[in-house]
Amino acid sequence: MPEPYRAFAKKAMDEFTGQDLFTRESDVAETVRRAVHDTTGQRRFPAGRDAIRLAEAK
């Protein structure tokens, strides 16, 4: 990593590896099931706690 980018890269990697929210296979399966049976017209179905956090941040 070139020196000018090392601090940025370290911060980004520390934040990435320090996450405590992850999507599990069961989260995706449940979300697909909900989406298939949804009758509300909802278009986006975030799957997993990390995706829900990102969706709520918008």
CA-based torsion, 9, 14, 15, 20: positive or negative: positive
Per residue in 45-55, pLDDT (tens digit) is: 999 988 998 88
Per residue in 2-48, pLDDT (tens digit) is: 999 999 999 988 887 877 788 999 999 999 999 999 999 999 999 99
The values of phi and psi at residue 41, to 5°, are: 90, 5
Amino acid at 16: F
pTM score = 0.63
